[in-house]
Amino acid sequence: MRLRAATIIFAIAAPCAVSQLTIENPRHVDIPEAQARILFQMSFQAVAKELRPGQKTNAEFPLHLVIGQEEERFGWNAKTGVATLFLREWDAVKFTTAAVRFAIQRSIQPEREEAMISEIVRHSQVVAPVSAAQLRGSNQVATPLPPPAIGCVKGIYDAAVSGSPCPMVPGNRSGPAR
């Protein structure tokens, strides 16, 4: 009964989400497709409402869900540019977490994101404490620039990259973010 009601609500509220979420399920793992589509639609609507209330946002994006994979990870597929999520089995919280993070990333243009990262690193060098050794060795502290391709960011944008050097994700006690 709940599935039927959810399907009806989904059909009325989110007709465009059907084409934006593709599901690859080669092992035929049980997955509530209607729930996945509703969660996907609600995720980018929530991000748009939170980040830009009353304004049009580009938080909508296509998502490719691959279910039945041994190694769980998510990122942007470098070849297709499509957000991709790999899950062992259906998990509404993991799915929604990835959808929200993708929507947040998508809300900021890549050029602006790179500029923000550079600006943050540059500002951190200005306010960071200076060691006594640095003061003795030079009258001017050099400000290192971030490497052109940050491995952590590359791992986030390329779903084919696993074992990214990113620090642990909050709530993920199993290891580095993927």
Q: What pLDDT, on the 0 to 100 scale, is given for residue 58?
A: 61
Residue 132 has pLDDT above 80, yes or no: no
Q: What pLDDT, on the 0 to 100 scale, is given for residue 72?
A: 93
Q: What pLDDT, on the 0 to 100 scale, is given for residue 152?
A: 52
DSSP 15: T
Residue scoring higher pLDDT (163 or 66): 66
Give the sheet arrangement for strand 21-24, strand by strand. 21-24, 63-67, 83-87, 73-76
The domain segmentation of the chain, as residue ranges, is 2-109
Question: What whole-number distance in Å separates Cα of residue 97 and Cα of residue 40?
Answer: 10
Average pLDDT, the chain: 74
What backbone torsions phi and psi does residue 17 show, to the nearest 5 degrees?
-70, -25
- 71-101 tens-digit pLDDT: 999 998 888 889 999 999 999 999 999 999 9
Q: What pLDDT, on the 0 to 100 scale, is given for residue 54?
A: 66
**Would the pTM of this model clear 0.75, i.e. be above it?**
no
Residue 12 has pLDDT above 70, yes or no: no
